[in-house]
Amino acid sequence: MKSLKLFLAGAIAMAGIVSISSCKGDERIAATDVELNETKLSLKVGETFKLIAFVLPSNATNQSVKWESDDEEVATVKGGTVTAVAEGPAVITATAADGSGEEARCNVTVVGDTPTPAKSITVGEQEGKMVAGQSGTVTYAITTTGIAANHYMFSVSNLPQGVNNFDELDIDDNGGSTITLTGNGTQTAGTYDNLTLRIEGTTSAPFTLTVEEQSEAIPVVTITNHSSNNLGGGSGWVLMQANITSDGGTPIVERGMKALEVYADQSFTRTFKDSGTGTGTFSINTEYGLQGNKLSIRAYAINEAGYTGYSEWVTIYEE
């Protein structure tokens, strides 16, 4: 009987231990905080972003959260993935699923996906006159859209012979700039209406260059003789003689010679003025300094009315 009592006492003690252990194993750890990887987002319509929720402490029994958007017409959320639906504000909330009431919020701003404006170039009207057979320049104001303010290289297509463009420009903050076309004196009269301007892969609509016929008011000048020496040596000289047979109706106020030095990838025009005025013959001696792979000269005369007359170009040296 004594043995039975001892057995029963031991069994009761063991049951108590098991009961206590079971109670301790059922203890649940509640969430004390919820944090998000982002608390503020800016998304464009159609974009998505993955929010990640952290339930604290890290050993909380239930690590799950419930996701909710306060305006699903602006942004929706599923499993933490936020999708921007329409422009406006929305608040995404992650609430601890254990009923503790702990939560975290992310403020979302959805903005419209503004399309990049199409690039365009508009060329204005020709400013200034260009006359056949005369050196001169004309300018065009241009307006651009979609091309950032910066320094650019540009090109003009379908230019007539004898007309060139300086190939760099600056576009200002308002999209404006100016291009210059230069006639070297060999251009012929005509209306050239299929020119196009190209910047950064964008081409303008066709625009027009007008080269006017020479007027009777333009002086008439010809080269009558020339000689040269050591042009291939890099420091040559040229002696030119010319004759002005007509002043165009007003007195000649300037006369001289233009020298065109041409190199492999560039060219330079230099001006040598005579000290005299009026019609008749005159001479220009450049002494030293002319060079280039090719050298051409022409005489010029300017009258009081502002008209310039030129002789034909004469090539006196070419490698």
What span, in angstroms and rounded, lies between the C-alpha atoms of 56 and 36? 11
154 within a domain of the structure (yes/no): yes
What span, in angstroms and rounded, lies between the C-alpha atoms of 85 and 42? 12
Give the CATH number, domain containing residue 50: 2.60.40.1080
Of 185, 212, 239, the one marking the end of a domain is: 212
Of 111, 133, 165, the one marking the end of a domain is: 111
Are 205 and 127 in the same domain?
A: yes
Are 249 and 293 in the same domain?
A: yes
- Residue ranges in the chain modelled with pLDDT below 70: 1-26, 114-116, 232-235
28 within a domain of the structure (yes/no): no
From residue 59, alpha-carbon distances to 25, 39, 97, 170, 177 in Å are 14, 23, 14, 63, 66
Total tally of structural domains belonging to the chain: 3
What span, in angstroms and rounded, lies between the C-alpha atoms of 284 and 290? 13
**Residue 39's closest CA among 104, 136, 90?**
104
Are 132 and 181 in the same domain?
A: yes
pLDDT at 233 (0 to 100) = 61
**Residue 179's closest CA among 212, 148, 157?**
157
pLDDT at 274 (0 to 100) = 95
| Strand-pair partners of 50 | 81
22 contact partners, CB below 8 Å, separation of at least 6: none
252 within a domain of the structure (yes/no): yes
Are 206 and 250 in the same domain?
A: no
Q: Considering the entire predicted model, what is its pTM?
A: 0.44
Tokens at 141, concatenated? 């104001």
11 within a domain of the structure (yes/no): no
Are 88 and 128 in the same domain?
A: no
What span, in angstroms and rounded, lies between the C-alpha atoms of 258 and 315? 12
Tokens at 178, concatenated? 């100016």
267 within a domain of the structure (yes/no): yes
Of 158, 181, 212, the one marking the end of a domain is: 212
Are 133 and 206 in the same domain?
A: yes
Q: Check residue 30 and report its DSSP letter.
A: P
pLDDT in tens, 49-91: 999 999 999 999 999 999 999 999 999 999 999 999 999 999 9
Are 249 and 199 in the same domain?
A: no
Are 145 and 184 in the same domain?
A: yes
139 within a domain of the structure (yes/no): yes
91 within a domain of the structure (yes/no): yes
pLDDT at 8 (0 to 100) = 41
Give the CATH number, domain containing residue 302: 2.60.40.10
Ordered strands of the 135-145 beta sheet? 120-123, 135-145, 176-184, 163-165
199 within a domain of the structure (yes/no): yes
What span, in angstroms and rounded, lies between the C-alpha atoms of 179 and 170? 10
The dihedrals phi and psi of 221, each to the nearest 5 degrees, come to -140, 145
Q: To which residue do tokens 């108590």 refer? A: 16
Q: Check residue 232 and report its DSSP letter.
A: G
- Domain extent, residue 124, equals 120-212
Pairing of strands 207-212, 130-131: parallel
**Residue 121's closest CA among 166, 92, 155?**
155
Q: To which residue do tokens 């047979």 refer? A: 245
Are 53 and 106 in the same domain?
A: yes
Are 226 and 207 in the same domain?
A: no
SS3 of residue 218 by DSSP: coil
Rounded to 5°, the CA angle 12-13-14 comes to 90
**Residue 235's closest CA among 211, 261, 217, 215?**
261
Largest CA distance in the chain: 158
Are 153 and 97 in the same domain?
A: no
Are 137 and 173 in the same domain?
A: yes
